[in-house]
Amino acid sequence: MTASETDDFTPTQIFATPLWVRRVVGFEQINADIRALLPQLRTESAERRSNEGGWHSQTNLHTDDRLAQIRKIIGTTSAGCATSIGFDFTRHNLVFQSLWININGHGHSNRAHVHPQSFLSGAYYVDMPKDGGNIELFDPIAARVMSPFPADDLSPYTGQLLEHTCREGDLLVFPGWLQHSVQRNESNRDRISISFNMTFESKPNTQR
Ligand SMILES: [Fe+2]
């Protein structure tokens, strides 16, 4: 006689936090094309957001056709991510809210932040020097810090911070509510990434 129907103790996942890490096919040429645009873009605009130093473009570059290639890749990838977690495309469209370029030079970083009102956010890496600064993703279940338990390794049930080593050509996607920061760039090369926010709109005549 057993206490349960099965000996499988794999838990049901609740309140899950998705993270997608995708490798963009053909990223070498895509990044070369983006780098070639930067001298011109840097003369046109700048903003200050979570960045400590560095350069942050305007946030409307999803409307700039000079970046159409990477915009399409990010849009298509985000749609695939959204589909995988049950996004209802019959009643809603997934649309860009914003897209911008970050250039962090030596000593520059990004403070911890979230992306308000963004369904999916993420980053694509154009230039990622060694020691250029990893992204840090923080456990969204803040109360977990009150009751840690001993485990040999960090796991999805014990970790408070996930440091992800970024590679050129990687495209990260995660919920906009997931707090994150970017470590200091300790190298002497620029760390160049493209960040984005995706939101959604109701399709006409589909509201209940
Ligand atoms: Fe961010």
Give the pLDDT confidence score for residue 49 in this predicted structure: 66
Cβ neighbourhood burial of 56 (10 Å; 0-12, 13-18, 19+): buried
Determine, yes or no, domain membership for 45: yes
Of 66, 158, 80, the closest CA to residue 120 belongs to 80
Determine, yes or no, domain membership for 11: no
C-alpha 41 to ligand 1 mean position (Å) = 20
Select the more confidently predicted residue: 1 or 158.
Answer: 158
Q: Could you give the angle at the alpha carbon of 169 between the alpha carbons of 111 and 23, nearest 5°?
A: 110
Determine, yes or no, domain membership for 5: no
C-alpha 32 to ligand 1 mean position (Å) = 23
Give the pLDDT confidence score for residue 104 in this predicted structure: 94
CB of 125 closer than 8 Å to CB of 167: yes
Question: What CA–CA distance (Å, rounded) separates 98 from 122?
Answer: 11
Does 1 score more than 50 pLDDT?
Answer: no
C-alpha 94 to ligand 1 mean position (Å) = 19
Give the pLDDT confidence score for residue 4 in this predicted structure: 75
This prediction has a pTM of: 0.91
Q: How many CB atoms lie within 10 A of CB 172?
A: 21
Question: What CA–CA distance (Å, rounded) separates 191 from 143?
Answer: 33
C-alpha 92 to ligand 1 mean position (Å) = 24
Tens digits of residue pLDDT in 9-20: 989 989 999 999
C-alpha 104 to ligand 1 mean position (Å) = 13
Does 59 score more than 50 pLDDT?
Answer: yes
C-alpha 36 to ligand 1 mean position (Å) = 24
Does 62 score more than 80 pLDDT?
Answer: yes
Run of H or E residues at 136: strand 135-138
Which residue, chain included where needed, has tokens 């990004």?
110
Tens digits of residue pLDDT in 21-50: 999 999 999 999 999 999 999 988 766 666
CATH number of the domain residue 129 falls in: 2.60.120.620
Range of the domain at 195: 20-147+156-202
Determine, yes or no, domain membership for 195: yes
| Domains contained in the chain, number | 1
C-alpha 206 to ligand 1 mean position (Å) = 32
pLDDT band at 207 (very low <50, low <70, confident <90, very high): low
The residues that bridge with 21 in the sheet, in sequence order, are 172
